Amino acid sequence: MTAGGFVKRVASERAGAWEAAGLSWLRVPGGAPVVGVESVSPDQLVLQRLSPISPSVAQVESFGRQLAATHATGASGFGVGPDGWTRDGLQGPADDLIPLPLGPYDSWGAMYADLRVEPLARQAGLLGAAEGLLGRLRGGEFDETVAAPARLHGDLWAGNVVWTAAGGVLIDPAAHGGHPESDLGALTLFGAPHLERLLASYIEVAGVADGWRERLPLMQLHLVLLHAVLFGGGYVGQAASILRRYA
């Protein structure tokens, strides 16, 4: 530990720079709080030290409204990374990172098909099962559910929100422009404290397109496929089930 900060070891200079860029991009006025970056070096990040607590309902509701503000800040396109980031990003656990393809798209469906579903489905041995969904995505079937690219955390499972006395704080992003329901899907994938209150407070501010709950498995597919690639096991079957559902 240095200067009271938390030292996070990173696999490469690129990994540390990617995480720092995402945290900076997500730090917007009125948005969800983001862990502070004290320094970046080739093998480590020094981050603001956080003191976790069990959140109150009021804190969770406040976070839902703040997340809506983060999303509303937007991005220049679907699939783009943080401002100034020109390479692909990274995704997965710190000790087993794989590329997160990035690139500007006007269509969420085409981006999700090209940069999220197809590459991971291929690596997981599920490309054949993905063909039906890929066609639907590239045909624009789901595009009417999103008006503009949201500024996403990109890996918003419950472990990447640290609850403190000041509220929920975002850590460890895979930040990019995408469908706001993707972050909501990640929150519901493994559960979160007072989840329904969090979702309700988000929706009060941002709204959601009709049928959003039925789309949650679609929005979770990216992370489920990522887990299938990295960990195998039951995640492969879970990903295959989602792919069949949307074939």
Identify the band that residue 2 occupies on the pLDDT scale cut at 50, 70 and 90.
Answer: very low
Query: Is residue 190 included in any domain, yes or no?
Result: yes
Which CATH number covers residue 91? Answer: 3.90.1200.10
By residue range, what is the domain housing residue 123?
Answer: 52-245
45 within domain boundaries? no
What mean pLDDT do residues 13-20 have? Answer: 94
Q: What is the mean pLDDT of the chain?
A: 96
* Residue 40 located in a structural domain: no
Asked whether residue 196 is assigned to any structural domain, the reply reads yes
Task: Tell me the average pLDDT across 27-54.
Answer: 94
Residue 46 counted as domain residue: no
* pLDDT above 60 (res 198): yes
How high is the pLDDT of residue 215? 97
Query: Is 56 a member of any domain?
Result: yes
Whole-structure pTM value:
0.95
| Contact residues for 185 (Cβ-Cβ < 8 A; gap 6+) | 215, 216, 217, 218, 219, 220, 223
pLDDT for residue 4 is more than 80 = no
How many whole angstroms separate alpha carbon 24 and alpha carbon 117?
27
Q: How far is it, in rounded angstroms, from Cα 203 to Cα 229?
A: 32
Query: Is the predicted pLDDT of residue 1 greater than 60, yes or no?
Result: no
Name the domain count of the chain.
1
Residue with tokens 């990640």: 186
